[in-house]
């Protein structure tokens, strides 16, 4: 297993476990995060403080959640992962699904790496 694949797997495990400190331990201080739904930017963070705030906020949205790695293409400084997401909402989404609803999405996550850390994450669904 490559070290980048191990970083991705550790990040996904920390995400599933709502382990924000574990997620933060894997990213660079200047991490960039972007989330796109249907090619529309829906969330972003620049730097570890914004990333922490976004990660903590997302923890409150779900009663349970899981990212499963379904595919992986790797290059030395980046990787594209196929991801199957499943989550159970903890709160009602205004104008959308209610608490207890199951959300299932297939997407991909693009990761970039430097010095043994994740420097960029782009989620697309």
Q: Sheet holding 102-114: strands in order across?
A: 40-46, 27-37, 117-124, 102-114, 78-89, 62-75
Position 30 pLDDT exceeds 80? yes
Tell me the range of 3-7, 45-49, 103-107 where mean pLDDT is highest: 45-49
pLDDT tens per residue across span 6-16: 999 999 999 99
* Span 69-108, pLDDT tens digits: 999 999 989 999 999 999 999 999 889 899 999 999 999 9
What is the residue extent of each domain of the chain?
3-124
Predicted local distance difference test score (pLDDT) of residue 1: 45
Nearest alpha carbon to residue 124 among 113, 103, 110, 104: 110
Rounded-to-integer distance, Cα 13 and Cα 7, Å: 10
Question: What confidence score (pLDDT) does residue 65 get?
Answer: 94
pLDDT at 2 over 80: no
- Measure the CA–CA gap between 45 and 48, rounded to whole angstroms: 8
Domain 3-124 fold is Nuclear Transport Factor 2; Chain: A, (3.10.450)
CA 32/CA 48 separation, integer angstroms: 8
Cβ neighbours of 10 (radius 10 Å):
16
């Amino acid at each position: 297993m490559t070290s980048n694949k191990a970083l991705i797997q550790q990040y996904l495990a920390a995400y599933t476990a709502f382990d924000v400190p574990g997620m933060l331990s894997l990213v660079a201080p200047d991490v960039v995060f972007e989330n796109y739904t249907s090619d529309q930017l829906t969330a972003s963070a620049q730097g570890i403080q914004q990333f922490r705030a976004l990660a903590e906020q997302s923890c409150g949205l779900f009663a349970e959640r899981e990212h499963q790695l379904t595919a992986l293409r790797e290059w030395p400084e980046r990787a594209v992962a196929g991801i199957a997401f499943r989550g159970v909402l903890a709160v009602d989404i205004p104008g959308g699904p209610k608490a207890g609803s199951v959300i299932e999405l297939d997407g991909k996550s693009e990761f970039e790496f430097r010095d043994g850390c994740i420097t960029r994450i782009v989620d697309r669904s």
